[in-house]
């Protein structure tokens, strides 16, 4: 399996042999769905919190006597059926949404998504991206150049989650240059995960030989 490598001007710069253990994994929708669901659950910010009838203020005195008033009997104004009373089955910030994900399962889901994206023509390999100094104009030129490549026309025009650019090592100049682009995310390849891949239309792998080296070693041991 071979693929083309491009430079940051969008021109073909050579060929690259793809590791079969990474880009030739069969699609498993159930596995990917399960891993993404668990990862989203683990990253959930548990903020919303309601008080039960035992936590709301007041209600220590019986509103009125049990009988003889013609009204329904009540023992406390903290009852959930009263305005200002407690909430039944409401969200609680002490609820634990963390779920265990087996490391091998997570790695298999990552390889599955990488293989699917490659087969769908959504992965672009680039030899290097570098800037002498931080400049959004230079970053825009790179995205425009990538958009001129067949199959990647939307990488510079899609308004949200257009591409995840994965580097073998990030530099301040590159980070700052792409900072103002809301449709592009910058990450080191070793930190990509199934959720980040599924949330972006395209994946740009910079310096693929270096970036894929550790992942290839991991699949060889499996």
Per domain, the residue ranges of the chain are: 2-44+99-221, 50-96
CB 74 within 8 A of CB 63: yes
The mean pLDDT value for 177-190 works out to 93
Q: What is the pLDDT of residue 59?
A: 82
Q: What is the pLDDT of residue 4?
A: 92
Give the CATH H-level superfamily of domain 2-44+99-221. Answer: Ribosomal protein L4/L1 (3.40.1370.10)
Confidence at 2, pLDDT banded by 50, 70, 90: confident
Please choose, from the candidates 34, 24, 76, the residue with its C-alpha nearest in 3D space to the C-alpha of residue 53.
76
- Long-range contacts for 83-90 (Cβ within 8 Å, ≥24 apart)? 84/56, 84/58, 85/53, 85/56, 85/59, 86/50, 86/51, 86/52, 86/53, 86/54, 86/55, 86/56, 87/50, 87/51, 87/52, 88/52, 90/48, 90/50
In angstroms, rounded to a whole number, what is the distance separating the alpha carbons of residues 187 and 183? 14
Q: State residue 21's pLDDT score.
A: 86
Residue 7 buriedness (CB in 10 A; 0-12 / 13-18 / 19+):
middle
Taking the C-alpha atoms of residue 62 and residue 155, their distance in angstroms, rounded to an integer, is: 66
> 67-84 in b/e burial notation, b at 16+ Cβ within 10 A?
eeeeeeeeebbbeeebee
pLDDT tier, 37 (very low <50, low <70, confident <90, very high otherwise): very high
For residue 141, pLDDT over 70 is answered with yes
pLDDT surpasses 70 at 166 = yes
pLDDT per position as a tens digit, 147-159: 999 999 999 888 8
pLDDT at 187 over 70: yes
Say how far apart CA 74 and CA 196 lie, in whole Å: 53
User: What is the tens place of the pLDDT at every residue in 61-119?
Assistant: 899 999 999 999 999 999 999 999 999 999 999 989 999 999 999 999 999 999 999 99
pLDDT band at 214 (very low <50, low <70, confident <90, very high): confident
């Amino acid at each position: 399996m071979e693929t083309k490598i491009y430079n940051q001007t969008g021109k073909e710069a050579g060929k690259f042999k793809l590791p079969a253990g990474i880009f030739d994994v069969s699609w498993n929708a159930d596995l990917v769905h399960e891993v993404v669901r668990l990862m989203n659950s683990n990253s959930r910010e548990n903020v919303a919190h309601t008080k039960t009838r035992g936590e709301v203020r007041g209600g220590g005195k019986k509103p009125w006597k049990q009988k003889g008033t013609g009204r329904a009997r009540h023992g406390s104004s903290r009852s959930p059926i009263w305005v200002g009373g407690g909430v039944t089955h409401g969200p609680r910030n002490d609820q634990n949404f963390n779920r265990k994900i087996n490391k091998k399962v997570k790695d298999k889901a990552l390889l599955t998504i990488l293989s699917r994206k490659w087969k769908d023509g959504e992965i672009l390999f680039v030899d290097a991206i570098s800037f002498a100094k931080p400049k959004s104009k230079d970053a825009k030129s790179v995205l425009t150049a990538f958009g001129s490549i067949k199959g990647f026309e939307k990488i510079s025009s899609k308004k949200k989650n257009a591409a995840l650019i994965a580097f073998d090592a990030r530099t301040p100049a590159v980070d700052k240059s792409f900072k103002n682009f809301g449709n592009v995310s910058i990450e080191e390849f070793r930190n990509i995960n199934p959720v980040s891949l599924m949330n972006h239309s395209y994946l740009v792998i910079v310096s693929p030989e270096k970036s894929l080296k550790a992942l290839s070693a991991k699949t060889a041991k499996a």
